[in-house]
Amino acid sequence: MKKYFVYILRTDKNTLYTGYTNDLLKRLEKHRLGKGSKYLKSFSGFKLVYWEELATLSLALRREWQIKQMPKKLKEELVQLMVVARVGLKHPNQYFCMTNIRHRIIR
């Protein structure tokens, strides 16, 4: 089964970029090489600060749109929730389970 990811990157100028992909590591490498997005080319660096896994492309596109509509303050809250959720987790899949629960609460 194919997986899709929605993610947020923080640039070196503290702006947030939201995107989606079906291969998060490959997409991050494309961004690093300057081939992932025109927007990120204008920055000298970025880091992954948030991601969530979704089951279908349709859900990923809908979630990406929802996040892009949020004010920056709310996006920062998502990023902070991820930081808190990741503390003490030994396996990334544990986090993905938590994101589904968390986003039902946030909506």
pLDDT of residue 105: 36
Q: What is the DSSP string of 12-71?
A: TTS-EEEEEES-HHHHHHHHHTT-S-HHHHTSS-EEEEEEEEESSHHHHHHHHHHHHHS-
Q: Would you state the pLDDT for residue 35?
A: 87
- The domain 4-106 is placed in CATH, from the list 3.40.1440, 3.40.50, 2.60.40, 1.25.40, at 3.40.1440
- pTM for this prediction: 0.77
Domains in the chain: boundaries: 4-106
2 three-class SS: coil
Considering only CA atoms, which of 10, 3, 45, 60 is closest in space to residue 26?
A: 3
**pLDDT digits (tens), the chain, 107 positions:** 889 999 999 998 999 999 999 999 999 989 888 888 888 888 888 889 999 999 999 999 999 999 999 999 999 999 988 776 665 544 444 433 334 433 433 33
